Homo-oligomer: A and B are copies of this chain.
Amino acid sequence: MHIDLNRNGSKSLPHQISETLSQRISSGLLQQGVRLPSVRSLATTLRVSQLTVSKAYDVLEKRGLIYCRQGKGCFVADPKHTKRQEDGRWQDVYDDYLPRAQLWRNFDYSEVKYPFHIAAIHSELLPLKNIGDSFASLVTQQPELMATYGNFQGDLELRGIMRDHLKTRGITLTSSDVMITSGTQQGIDLVARTFVGPGDTVYLEAPSYTGAIDVFAGRGAEMIFVPTDSEGMRVDILTRMCDQRPPKLIYTIPTFQNPSGVTMSIARRQRLLELARSYRCLIVEDDPFSDLYFHAPPPPTIKSMDSEGHVVYMKSFSKVIAPGCRIACVAAGGNILSRLIAAKSASDLGSPLLTQRAVLPFIAGKYETYAAQLRVTLRTRMEKATKLLKLYAPPGVKYILPEGGLNLWLELPASPDIARLHELAEQMSISFLPGDVCYSAETSSRHIRLCYSQMNETDMEEGLRLFLRLLGRFLQVSG
């Protein structure tokens, strides 16, 4: 079993070991009944003392996550306390390098009637007819697009369109500074695999996007979560933290942040960029939502202020027009991008060319008009959702009215058993995103994220009413 240990970090080694194992157990990577390595063998593998491993196992046993049997070893406990067969299959002890995979556990509930957990736009609002027509005409007129691997960096024409689009947002670059990825998730992953390694310090907002946290954890990074307030990431606190641990990379979603909805002020954007300059590090600016504002346009992107190539800017186009098409844009300068292209080639030889060409005409021609209309629709829907919140939210539940984006971020009173609430909601065919997956594993959050745009209006209103009533009953009982 492989565990990345940071021997210079602030956390003790037993703590690092127990936290990693606890994450693997909670995400199901270590399944019930699996035998953990013996204290002696894990100590040898990790080059730590047996006492260190022993301490870590003690913590896990006290938390009920594992049970130990004299002479037999320690096993992952069954939370329902039923006996499980001791399964000695070789696969269970075959090492992996996946410390965390929360996204995988918290995303895929396609069966649920009220899917509040996925931040997406319902298909009836998307320009699918238009993009579908584009697919249909391409397969007739240029069938060879289905046969070609294309350029690893992405189709040159689409990169040109994206360059022009970014220019209207104040970001000036050439199409050689643009790469096309299969969604922003892949963009984040490529940055991490290229530039982040074991022990490297990555700063993120607390809370942040689960998919990014998973990726950085997978690289063995030391993730540090920076507090946020109504102006976004507390860059003043970050600056002090950087004195202690210089950043390798800063990951931020400055506009209508996921999950919290907060937008970073211009002043902080500028200071963040200054900080990256002085530490000669990268900022990943993940920007899924800046076109989805309800009132005023958000402040300029950090990338638009960046003259020395410190910002890797990511914008998902498919998220706004056709999420299943998985087309995002990564913009970066100089040899930062060329290294990311090398990583992209090893990942998948490039994104499908047909799909790139299929979304191209819409982005080139109709995107702005569509986005303007979409903003109106989403604002109306958000207002309906927040009206229901005002009517039915149980006392003590807090939220901020979002200025854009797709999510509502609720803070529950006290520290409720959110896993239990999740179970109860699922029984009613309702899903939500538990806030703790938006933090590192140590934090137990009392937040939940609800997306109000992933269903049609009737289902959303019905589902939200049902959920808020459930929440009321739940808080009464547990309070």
> Are A151 and B346 in touch, CB under 8 angstroms?
no
> Are A90 and B280 in touch, CB under 8 angstroms?
yes
Within 8 A of B (CB), among A84-126: 89-98, 101, 103-104, 107-108, 110, 118, 120-123, 126
Judge whether A371 is part of the interface by a CB distance below 8 angstroms.
no
Decide: A95 near B128, CB < 8 A? Known: A103-B346, A147-B123, A183-B348: no
| 9-residue interface stretch from A14-22, A259-267, A322-330 | A322-330
Interface string of A147-166 (1 = CB under 8 A from B): 11111100000000000000
Question: Complex: how many Å from CA A252 to CA B129?
Answer: 44
| 9-residue interface stretch from A26-34, A236-244, A379-387 | A26-34
Chain B residue nearest to A132 in the complex (CB): B139
Judge whether A82 is part of the interface by a CB distance below 8 angstroms.
no
Judge whether A388 is part of the interface by a CB distance below 8 angstroms.
no
Decide: A189 near B136, CB < 8 A? Known: A95-B195, A150-B324, A324-B147: no
Decide: A324 near B145, CB < 8 A? Known: A96-B195, A135-B136, A195-B95: yes
> Are B128 and A144 in touch, CB under 8 angstroms?
yes
Judge whether A44 is part of the interface by a CB distance below 8 angstroms.
no
Judge whether A342 is part of the interface by a CB distance below 8 angstroms.
yes
Quick one: which of B107, B118, B342, B348 contacts A182, CB cutoff 8 A? B348
> Are B150 and A345 in touch, CB under 8 angstroms?
no
Interface string of A52-92 (1 = CB under 8 A from B): 00000000000000000000000000000000000001111
Chain B residue nearest to A186 in the complex (CB): B348
Nearest-Cβ distance from residue A420 to partner chain B, whole angstroms: 24
Quick one: which of B27, B123, B280, B352 contacts A94, CB cutoff 8 A? B280
The residues of B that contact A123 with a CB separation of less than 8 Å are 143-144, 146-148
> Are B103 and A128 in touch, CB under 8 angstroms?
no
The residues of B that contact A150 with a CB separation of less than 8 Å are 110, 324
> Are A325 and B280 in touch, CB under 8 angstroms?
no
Interface string of A398-434 (1 = CB under 8 A from B): 0000000000000000000000000000000000000
Copies of this chain assembled into the complex: 2
Question: Complex: how many Å from CA A121 to CA B345?
Answer: 20
> Are A89 and B334 in touch, CB under 8 angstroms?
yes
* Total residues of chain A contacting the partner, CB 8 A: 90
Chain B residue nearest to A95 in the complex (CB): B195
Chain B residue nearest to A90 in the complex (CB): B280
Interface string of A436-477 (1 = CB under 8 A from B): 000000000000000000000000000000000000000000
Quick one: which of B27, B194, B349 contacts A342, CB cutoff 8 A? B27
> Are A345 and B104 in touch, CB under 8 angstroms?
yes
Quick one: which of B92, B214, B323, B342 contacts A335, CB cutoff 8 A? B92
Decide: A352 near B339, CB < 8 A? Known: A97-B197, A309-B91: no
The residues of B that contact A345 with a CB separation of less than 8 Å are 101, 103-104, 107, 211, 214
Judge whether A343 is part of the interface by a CB distance below 8 angstroms.
yes
Judge whether A180 is part of the interface by a CB distance below 8 angstroms.
no
Interface string of A298-335 (1 = CB under 8 A from B): 00000000001100000000000011111000000111
> Are A215 and B346 in touch, CB under 8 angstroms?
yes
Nearest-Cβ distance from residue A267 to partner chain B, whole angstroms: 24
The residues of B that contact A42 with a CB separation of less than 8 Å are none
Judge whether A373 is part of the interface by a CB distance below 8 angstroms.
no
Chain B residue nearest to A181 in the complex (CB): B348
Decide: A182 near B182, CB < 8 A? Known: A92-B335, A98-B194, A147-B123: yes
The residues of B that contact A189 with a CB separation of less than 8 Å are 346-348
Judge whether A185 is part of the interface by a CB distance below 8 angstroms.
yes
Given contacts A29-B342, A96-B194, A123-B144, 5 further A-B contacts (CB under 8 A): A27-B342, A136-B139, A149-B324, A193-B218, A211-B345
A interface residues (Cβ-Cβ under 8 A, vs B): 2, 27-29, 31, 89-98, 101, 103-104, 107-108, 110, 118, 120-123, 126, 128-129, 131-133, 135-136, 139-140, 143-152, 182-183, 185-186, 189, 193-197, 211, 214-215, 218, 248, 280-282, 308-309, 322-326, 333-336, 338-339, 341-343, 345-349, 351-355
